Copies of this chain bind each other. A is one copy, B any other.
Amino acid sequence: MDIGMIDQLVDNILGHVNLTTNEKKMLRTFWSEKTLIKGDYLLRNGDICRTDNYIVSGALKAFYINPKSGREEILYFAIDNWWASDVESFQKQKPSIYSIQALEKTHLLQITRPAFYRMLEQIPRLEGYFRIILESYLGSLQRSIIENKVCTVQQRYVEFMLRYPDIVKKVPHYLIASYLGCSAEFLSRVRKKLRTS
């Protein structure tokens, strides 16, 4: 196993909780690497999410096909140092309600559910880490729900650029439009207005 990749995860964890040298060593044993190329699926709607996935590098989109229009509705993007899994599907081992696909070559660290629980038993301090990750994600979801209700597309797009500049660089605008909840054409007009004002 590439030491560099798991070190990146360890660094991320150390940003939130402390680990002993021994715990760090143990941690390494639970994870395996995976590489996706552009277009590969990490998870398909209806399948069970068997692994929790940490993104070392790359970009993914989580989406759902709108049965009316046949188009993708973007739920979220995920890039370096984010987690990308259908949490509820992973927890309850039930079918996922959305799909996750690579937007470019992506390196992952993966852990299965049994390994995940063994790891938490052996390194209880990680419970705190995963709680913090979940709480933070929950907070950002709630914030984005409020913003969707209160802000215009223009405000949300500006906010999105400020908050996730790395995503704007990697992802085509018609997908960002879907994430923001408008058509690609409308976002195009918004961007034009931003240019001239």
Contacts and interface: CB of A to CB of B under 8 A. Distances in A.
A44 to B, nearest CB: 15
Contacts of A75: 142, 145-146
A115 interface: no
A194 B128 CA distance: 47
- Number of copies of this chain that the complex holds: 2
A150 B67 contact: yes
A143 to B, nearest CB: 6
Interface string A74-96: 01000000000011110100000
Residues of A in contact with B, size category: 20 to 34
Contacts of A128: 127
A142 B64 CA distance: 11
Contact of A139 (B73, B87, B136): B87
A135 interface: yes
A66 B86 CA distance: 31
B132 A91 contact: yes
A100 B37 CA distance: 45
A149 interface: yes
A130 interface: yes
Top 8 A-B pairs, shortest CB-CB distance: A88-B139, A127-B127, A134-B134, A73-B149, A91-B135, A87-B135, A64-B146, A66-B150
Interface of A: 64, 66-68, 73, 75, 86-89, 91, 97-98, 124, 127-128, 130-132, 134-143, 145-146, 149-150, 181
